[in-house]
Amino acid sequence: MPGFLPVSKQDLHRLGWEEPDFICVTGDAYVDHPSFGVAIISRLLASLGFKVGIIAQPAWQGPEAFRALGRPKYGFFVTAGNIDSMVAHYTAAKKPRSEDLYSPGGKPQKRPDRATIVYTGRIREAYPGCPVILGGLEASLRRFAHYDYWSDSVRRSVLCDSGADLIVYGMGEHQTEEIANRLAAGEAAASLTDIRGTCVLLPEGAAPPAGSVRCPSYERVRADKKTYAEACRIQYDNQDAVTGRAVVQPHGGRLLVQNPPAPPLTRDELDHVYALPFIRYYHPMYESQGGVPAIKEVEFSITHNRGCFGACNFCSISFHQGRVVSSRSIESVLAEAAAMVKSPRFKGNISDVGGPTANFRHPSCKKQLTEGVCRGRKCLAPTPCPSLDASHAEYLELLRALRALPGIKRVFVRSGLRFDYVMAEKNDTFLGELVRHHVSGQLRVAPEHCSAEVLDQMGKPHIEVYEAFSKKFYELTKKAGREQYIVPYLMSSHPGSTIKDAVALALFLKREHLHPEQVQDFYPTPGTVSTCMFYTGLDPYTMKPLHVPRDAREKAMQRALLQYSVPANRRLVLEALEAAGRRDLIGRSAHCLVPPDASTAPGPAHRAPRGNAAKPQRRNNPYEKKKK
């Protein structure tokens, strides 16, 4: 249907609807753009012929806001929004955030903590017995018993705590279509127990699915950290659509059943989804409140792929979207770009052509399509698999076609780019064109650390790969006659990182003349391998113990070391160097990090911003020879 989907009874009346078939409830403001999961699901339902309404950021203190569109004929689809509601509300230090980019005017606290639980409870009050299906990142990553950083406890599956009928985990198009059609055909929600890509609760005496694997119970993983780590590995080992088995985890008197993952969308299916009639903007009801800030980054961006075989341990993508990469056709992407040109707000620049990882267009190897991804191994780290297909040929073809479109001035690549995948290719064709055409002054990549031990726990390549990439980038940049810089993303206090590792990273930054303005502390978000490490102190794949920075003082010291040249950090840096036994780095000589007294503290030569477009100084290029 053209225009925004209905958000009020007046909208329903204008459409001549007595009731919606489905209502989508979201913790984000209503933005009809394919970067928002609720926009995709609602548009998909509408394309199937269903009448769909939207309730965005309802007042959750009572049930009345959930009655805004009346009782839906078939049920509710509920999401906390594009990110977990606790992550939306709190920093890694558990302090309240001052803004929420997914809310009108950027104002925080427009959704409750643990939104999927609260929303489901209010729907149950408003319409007892009405089916409720959970989806989105919060529900997907909390589908099993999970460590919750904010309460510092192991919580039950969100399906138990919410009282919803089932969870759609991962990218939900296949599941949504089957659920909607079966509910419309008269099936009860309680009978929808066999849909791939969903989780359901069964009575404990019920027969588990044939061929399922049993996971340690909620009670056991809550009581024993080693058992929690074992459960984490079982769950991760069964997230492949080819080899994944159903996973059963007892919760009290019931069985949580995760059915095998839904297969990734085919290229034709992805093309269909992204051809749906998105408005690509926020609902006009937010205009008087300053709009929705999140649209600024994505309005003129293009998602061309899904999935990520990079599988960093601190990232939730592999547990949500999966490790098998699928992508849209070049024709589909060009059609989206051509539509952008017609927007009066478009200034000629496509801000990004990316996805979870921008430069992935196909599975890492052909075997994944028939035999699934390798368990317990990574495609890129610590070194690329010999079977890796490191070709950027089709991605280059796509970027070239976009550059040639009438009305397009520049095409940028700004989302995550795997520099190790770039270096795995046998020639510099892709990197050369990236440097010449697709970098808007700064290229953000994520080496994250320099310690081999820490990078192994992160699932990242060793620092030598980044150094080789950086050198090649600056060589090609100079050859192209451009002034462009790399901004490295760095992380402090990841499990496995000691004070000595943080000192090593500070020395690396000093050697490379990098002074980051912002540093990301490790954030134990639900559902990642690194969060399992943080809680248990164990690597779930080796069961070896590792150091975990949990103490607030130690975390502050590790963070301060990455910004050693900031005068306000001097005392913490001194304390950290004492703790690491590195008093040799306190002094005024060239190799030292801080002077023994504050009066001669050095100022930063350059602060490379994280998420900031400020122009770096030329000293950020460590490979450029100094002019006499």
Q: At residue 294, does pLDDT exceed 70?
A: yes
Q: How far apart are CA 495 and CA 141, in angstroms?
A: 20
Determine the pLDDT at residue 628. Answer: 30
DSSP-H helix ranges across 294-408: 295-298, 317-320, 330-341, 367-371, 393-403
Q: In what order do the strands lie in the sheet with 247-251?
A: 52-56, 22-26, 75-79, 132-135, 166-168, 198-203, 254-258, 247-251, 213-214
**SS3 track for 550-604:** CCHHHHHHHHHHHCCCCHHHHHHHHHHHHHCCCHHHECCCCCCCECCCHHHCCCC
Which percentage of the chain shows pLDDT scores above 70? 95
> Does the pLDDT at position 606 exceed 90?
no
- Would you say 372 and 241 are in contact if contact means Cβ atoms under 8 Å apart? yes
Tokens of 516: 């980051």
Q: Which of 619, 581, 524, 596 is nearest to 313 (CA)?
A: 524
Which residue is listed with tokens 């150091």? 547
CA-based torsion, 49, 197, 336, 334: positive or negative: negative
How high is the pLDDT of residue 622? 38
pLDDT exceeds 60 at position 521: yes
Per-residue model confidence (pLDDT) at position 516 = 86
Phi-psi bin for 19: left (phi > 0), alpha (psi -120 to 50), beta? beta
Q: Domain extents for the chain?
A: 9-198, 446-451+479-628
Architecture of domain 9-198: 3-Layer(aba) Sandwich (3.40)
- Model pLDDT, residue 598: 58
Q: Which amino acid is at 479?
A: K
Q: Which residues of 86-105 are buried (b: 16+ CB within 10 A; e: fewer)?
A: bbbbbebeeeeeeebbbbbe
Contact status, residue 348 vs residue 339, Cβ threshold 8 Å: no
Whole-number pLDDT of residue 599? 52
User: Looking at residues 131-154, what average pLDDT do you find?
Assistant: 98
Mean of pLDDT values over 352-377: 94
User: What is the SS3 assignment for 389?
Assistant: coil
| Whole-number average pLDDT of the chain | 93
The answer to whether 125 touches 138, Cβ cutoff 8 Å, is: no
Distance of alpha carbon 558 from alpha carbon 562, whole angstroms: 7
pLDDT in tens, 331-356: 999 999 999 999 999 999 999 999 99
Distance (Å, rounded) from C-alpha 144 to C-alpha 100?
Answer: 27
